């Protein structure tokens, strides 16, 4: 039987974050290609189509919209490591799930479009990484197309994110005329060759400096001058500051043509920290070889139309998980069977027999579990609550057919419990017309669809005047409620949210009454 510490040491668990269209899906496929999980050839393009249709059609809505709402977990071997890639959905809209996935990751890869640099959603996701103290690597993608100059991109990272960019590879050839990269660790120059749409691993050739100088000409001289500048500025990968989130190793490449993908994957294996003993709510850490414990970071219902089941995604934090063991759900103290533990590859589910720290399990029909909960064997475990951003969109929901009110109430409660959407109530309207609150607009579509199709309660959403929310406490709540343009609503778990009609108004309230509690972060899950 393998030692959980040895197995943990070879796990690399990370998520890719990016603005839609920066190339996350493409890069994910290329990781699988290089990880050997797609076979040697071509799988890539097909897999992409496959992922869009076959693996995400569990919901009619997804089919209609042609988007993937589910986040999946992909596992593959690379070198002597087991890589767990937590795939956040690539749609245009945010959802809380995207944030939650980061709670299960030990690091992130931030993908930037070379022509666009840091875009709004990248910035938001980056803020979550910072809040959760997750180190990140940066991949500048689409270098095969015209884009910004590399030094300009570095400045942008530094100024916008206040993080020191430390390139590990440096591109030779301007964006649009990408030849290869200089590896700053070894000094070697690697030339790439194109393959059709990158459906096979890109042939690479290590070229000596002399040959490079004669073949690449000016591009070579320019790249070397830039590398010298970086050396002078001391922009070298530094593991300590990387782990502290103060610097980010940068890689240049093109996911489409596979250029630079291998270097990035090597960077993941070399730099992403292996799972460490996870901090518990009481401030101590649970040893990696302690009995099994895991963190629920996402709960998803309705993945299988035939069963309408509910899957809790659990990141293993300690010990060896073995299918069939009886674990305890922290929230209820109840025992449950793990006979139906699964791994997910898109929609394909495989029964998982064993798992180690860093791996992700899907526990089917684990109805007691909510986001932030712990599951464990032996000594109880409880994790600190996960920091989450306050919602940003608010709609009032009413059932259109009043005879379906019971179903509506049940459905809304269930969606709230799952964390699919937040349900806010005010004392006057209560359950009749709660406000649904979300981080991304897509969550409303999902909620509407599910209430109608799963619970038989069609709803109508109407806009509210609110645009921003902050967490508050009981004492501030009564004062805020008495003010104009502010409304304090409650969640089922007792969290109080103050809703404002504009940021301007909120800032004014805060500057007039700095003593009020108005917090951007809301705790999610956990018992504290």
Binding site for ligand G4P (CB under 6 A): 18, 20-26, 90, 141-142, 144-145, 254-256
Pick the closer one to ligand G4P by CB: 204 or 238: 204
Pick the closer one to ligand G4P by CB: 27 or 388: 27
Pick the closer one to ligand G4P by CB: 193 or 401: 193
Q: Are 359 and 492 in contact (CB under 8 A)?
A: no
Pick the closer one to ligand G4P by CB: 115 or 461: 115
Q: Are 164 and 248 in contact (CB under 8 A)?
A: yes
Strands (E), 244-309: 247-252, 278-279, 285-286, 293-301
Structure token digits, residue 415:
């969606």
- Rounded to the nearest angstrom, the gap between the alpha carbon of residue 212 and the centroid of all alpha carbons in its chain is 39
Asked whether the CA dihedral 494, 399, 432, 402 is positive or negative, the reply is negative
User: Minimum distance between the CB of residue 38 and ligand G4P, rounded to whole angstroms?
Assistant: 15
Q: Which helix (H) or strand (E) holds 108?
A: strand 107-113
User: Minimum distance between the CB of residue 82 and ligand G4P, rounded to whole angstroms?
Assistant: 24
Pick the closer one to ligand G4P by CB: 347 or 365: 347
User: Minimum distance between the CB of residue 49 and ligand G4P, rounded to whole angstroms?
Assistant: 8
Tokens 């964006």 belong to residue: 175
Pick the closer one to ligand G4P by CB: 98 or 318: 98
User: Minimum distance between the CB of residue 155 and ligand G4P, rounded to whole angstroms?
Assistant: 22
Pick the closer one to ligand G4P by CB: 24 or 496: 24
User: Minimum distance between the CB of residue 161 and ligand G4P, rounded to whole angstroms?
Assistant: 19
User: Minimum distance between the CB of residue 510 and ligand G4P, rounded to whole angstroms?
Assistant: 36
Pick the closer one to ligand G4P by CB: 26 or 422: 26
User: Minimum distance between the CB of residue 260 and ligand G4P, rounded to whole angstroms?
Assistant: 9
User: Minimum distance between the CB of residue 221 and ligand G4P, rounded to whole angstroms?
Assistant: 25
In the sheet that holds 204-207, the strands lie side by side as: 169-172, 180-183, 189-192, 204-207
Pick the closer one to ligand G4P by CB: 28 or 448: 28
User: Minimum distance between the CB of residue 315 and ligand G4P, rounded to whole angstroms?
Assistant: 23
> Cβ of 463: how many Cβ atoms within 10 Å?
9
User: Minimum distance between the CB of residue 86 and ligand G4P, rounded to whole angstroms?
Assistant: 14
Q: Are 16 and 318 in contact (CB under 8 A)?
A: no
Q: Which candidate, 282, 274, 312, 280, places its Cα nearest to that of 296? A: 312
Tokens 């459905």 belong to residue: 411
Burial classification of residue 450, based on how many CB atoms lie within 10 Å of its CB (0-12 exposed, 13-18 middle, 19 or more buried): buried
Q: Residues with Cβ < 8 Å from 478, sequence gap 6 or more?
A: none
DSSP H helices, 173-235, are: 209-216, 218-233
Backbone phi, psi, residue 441, to 5°: -65, -30
DSSP H helices, 256-344, are: 261-271
Pick the closer one to ligand G4P by CB: 48 or 132: 48
Tokens 């393959």 belong to residue: 195
Q: How many CA atoms lie within 13 A of 180 on its CB side?
A: 25
């Amino acid at each position: 039987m393998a030692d959980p510490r040895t197995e943990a040491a070879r796990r690399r668990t990370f998520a890719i974050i990016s603005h839609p269209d920066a190339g996350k899906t493409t890069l994910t496929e290329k990781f699988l290609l290089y990880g050997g999980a797609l076979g040697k050839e071509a799988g890539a393009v097909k897999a992409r189509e496959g992922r869009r249709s076959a693996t995400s059609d569990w919901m009619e809505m997804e089919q209609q919209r042609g988007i993937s709402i589910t986040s999946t977990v992909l596992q593959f071997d690379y070198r002597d490591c087991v890589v767990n890639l937590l795939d956040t959905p690539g749609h245009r809209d945010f959802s809380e799930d995207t944030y939650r996935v980061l709670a299960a990751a030990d690091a992130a890869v931030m993908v930037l479009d070379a022509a666009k640099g840091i875009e709004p959603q990248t910035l938001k996701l980056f803020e979550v990484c910072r809040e959760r103290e997750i180190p990140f690597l940066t991949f500048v993608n689409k270098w095969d197309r015209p884009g910004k100059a590399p030094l300009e991109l570095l400045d942008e990272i530094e100024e916008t994110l206040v993080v020191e960019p430390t390139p590990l590879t440096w591109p030779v050839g301007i964006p649009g005329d990408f030849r290869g990269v200089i590896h700053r660790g070894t000094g070697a120059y690697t030339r790439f060759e194109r393959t059709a749409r990158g459906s096979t691993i890109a042939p690479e050739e290590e070229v000596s400096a002399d040959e490079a100088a004669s073949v690449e000409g000016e591009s070579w001289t320019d790249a070397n001058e830039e590398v010298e500048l970086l050396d002078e500025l001391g922009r070298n990968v530094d593991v300590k500051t990387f782990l502290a989130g103060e610097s980010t190793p940068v890689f240049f490449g093109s996911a489409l043509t596979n250029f630079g993908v291998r270097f990035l994957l090597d960077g993941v294996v070399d730099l992403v920290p292996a799972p460490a003993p996870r901090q518990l709510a009481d401030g101590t850490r649970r040893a990696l070889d302690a009995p099994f414990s895991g963190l629920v970071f996402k709960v998803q219902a309705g993945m299988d139309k035939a069963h309408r089941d509910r899957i809790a995604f659990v990141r293993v934090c300690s010990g060896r998980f073995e299918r069939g063991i009886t674990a305890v759900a922290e929230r209820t103290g109840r025992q449950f069977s793990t006979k139906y533990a699964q791994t997910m590859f898109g929609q394909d589910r495989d029964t998982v027999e064993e798992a180690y720290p860093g791996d992700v399990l899907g526990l089917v029909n684990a109805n007691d579990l909510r986001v932030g909960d712990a599951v464990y064997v032996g000594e109880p475990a409880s994790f600190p609550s996960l920091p989450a951003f306050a919602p940003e969109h608010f709609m009032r929901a009413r059932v259109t057919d009043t005879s379906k009110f019971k179903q509506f109430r049940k459905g809304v409660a269930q969606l709230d419990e799952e964390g699919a959407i937040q349900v806010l109530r005010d004392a006057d309207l209560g359950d009749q017309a709660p406000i649904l609150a979300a981080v991304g607009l897509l969550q409303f579509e999902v909620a509407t669809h599910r209430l109608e199709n799963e619970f038989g309660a069609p709803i109508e959403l109407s806009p509210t005047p609110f645009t921003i929310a902050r967490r508050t406490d009981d004492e501030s709540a009564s004062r805020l409620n008495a003010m104009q343009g502010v409304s304090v609503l409650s969640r089922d778990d007792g969290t109080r949210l103050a809703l404002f009609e504009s940021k301007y108004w909120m800032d004014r309230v805060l500057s007039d009454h700095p003593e009020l509690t108005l917090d951007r972060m809301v705790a999610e899950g956990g018992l504290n």
